[in-house]
Amino acid sequence: MEMGRRSSEAVTKGSWFTPKRLLIVFCVINMLNYVDRGVIASNGVNGSLETCTESGVCTGGKGIQGEFKLNNFEDGVLSSAFMVGLLLASPIFASLAKSYNPFRLIGVGLSVWTVSTLGCGCSFNFWSIAICRMLVGVGEASFISLAAPFIDDNAPVAMKTAWLAMFYMCIPTGIALGYVYGGIVGSNFNWRWAFWGEALLMLPFAILGFVMKPLQLKGFAPSGSSKAFIAVETVDESDDLETAEVPVLVADGGDRSEDAVKTSNMFTRFFGDLKQLLGEKVYVVNVLGYIAYNFVIGAYSYWGPKAGYNIYHMANADLMFGGITIVCGIFGTLAGGYALDHMVATLSNAFKLLAGATFFGAIFCFAAFCMKSMYAFIALFAVGELLVFATQAPVNYVCLHCVKPRLRPLSMAMSTVSIHIFGDVPSSPLVGVLQDHIKNWRHTALILTTVFFLAAGVWFVGIFFNSVDRYAEEAEAQLASENKASTKPLLEGADETS
């Protein structure tokens, strides 16, 4: 407990940021990221093509699709183009955190996000807005990879998972606000103003990342450093020698330039860290369960309204599914975080909560699609979603605590990449193929829901691993190291006296 408190104080010492201020700022930034996703999908911004009746009366197109005359394929590309930048840039930002202050990298990412969102509002054709959407994903990547480790460092020891839950609760809330904001602005003004408004709201946070004293992330560069640094890490018996970072000395006049050496070191370090990350069985099992879970959640979000309309003839299927997801997403995510803290946050307890909540959530969702009554479906499906959303904080807690602090950004980045590439990205088209084959939405939904049981089974296996909390492990090692009289001064101290 004392070590956790000392770490938090060390991270925010001398900075405007207190732990609570940091959480609030990061929650608002995370919400703005997801507001953007809701905006691009809202009817007021996305719009529609021009339509004509048989009598020749035409209604002009509106929004992005109408102005740029996009077909449905091109329109669909815009909604997911940000994913390209996000998936490519997440591992890059995680790797750069070894050489540059992570807090400054968030500032860089938010600046890219702000400029790219502004560019979306200034776009003039399909390709210009598609490229801007990809760059929005690049900007978001730095925040996705690095924000959760900062929150984990600063959260009170007894509320770490609850703080993560508050952070991830902003996902459904942000998307919901994006739908409303995009619809109001797009319908009453012009779709471009929706993007310009987002950029204006994010600008102060981008500036904040540069003007405030940078915070130090546990296991990374000193907070006062704006330059690349060489991390001198102790190699214990559990470390693979191939992943240890070895300084490279280059003689004056050598053929290899300093930049080439830094690039080579960065790639060597990245692949070494990746090998070490994939060697963590707890991490691999956690992400495999998360992939199966996200496979279902992604398909639910895309096909749910259509399935509900066809099975139960819902008049407002979009509103119904959206409302259930928002309410259950907020309360379920918060409940999961507080439940794990109440159980005492350990990796084993996290897996128990992941497996149990997903298993019982799957039962309720499966039973919901078996019901003939729409009201029975809504009641059971709401309980099911409340349970499955309770996994958000625990699954990310495991990603952060099953690896050493220096691997946490890469852990979060590779988790994000994996759940999208193997989870929600392929699930929508695969479920579409399944529906085309069996032509029964009830059966399709039931088959899809069974994947939740697979996720619960994978997470159940994690309970029996000899899980070690690497965060606490390294914290204890750091405390012991500080108490040794023979310990050499840190590079940070040397810089201050030079």
Mean pLDDT in the chain? 79
Q: Are 306 and 435 in contact (CB under 8 A)?
A: no
Of residues 49, 45, 79, the one with CA closest to residue 185: 45
Band of the pLDDT at 369, cuts 50, 70, 90? very high
Mind listing the pLDDT tens digit for each residue in 239-296? Answer: 443 444 444 444 444 455 665 655 666 667 777 878 888 888 999 999 999 999 999 9
d(CA 306, CA 345): 39
Residues 415, 350, 149, CA angle at the centre, nearest 5°? 45
* Section 150-157 average pLDDT: 82
pLDDT at 300: 84
pTM confidence score: 0.74
Residues 370, 336, 420, CA angle at the centre, nearest 5°? 70
d(CA 149, CA 407): 10
Highest mean pLDDT (candidates 106-120, 417-431, 481-495): 106-120
Q: Pick 326 or 133 by higher pLDDT.
A: 133
pLDDT at 32: 93
Question: Amino acid letter at 445?
Answer: A
DSSP of 298-346, one letter per residue?
Answer: HHHHHHHHHHHHHHH--TTHHHHHHHHHHHHHHHHHHHHHHHHHHH---
Share of the chain above pLDDT 90, in %: 27
Band of the pLDDT at 12, cuts 50, 70, 90? low
Residue 77 has pLDDT above 80, yes or no: no
pLDDT at 390: 92
pLDDT at 209: 82
Mind listing the pLDDT tens digit for each residue in 406-424? Answer: 888 888 888 988 998 898 8
Domains of the chain (ranges plus CATH)?
17-50+61-217 (1.20.1250.20), 278-482 (1.20.1250.20)
Q: Pick 467 or 497 by higher pLDDT.
A: 467
* Section 306-310 average pLDDT: 81
pLDDT at 263: 60
pLDDT at 223: 44
Mind listing the pLDDT tens digit for each residue in 161-204? Answer: 888 888 888 888 888 788 788 888 888 888 899 999 999 999 99
pLDDT at 80: 75
Instruction: Kindly report which listed range (70-84, 215-229, 426-440) carries the lowest average pLDDT score.
Output: 215-229
Band of the pLDDT at 451, cuts 50, 70, 90? very high
Mind listing the pLDDT tens digit for each residue in 126-140? Answer: 999 999 999 999 998
3-state SS assignment for residue 280:
coil
Instruction: Kindly report which listed range (41-55, 142-156, 376-390) carries the lowest average pLDDT score.
Output: 41-55
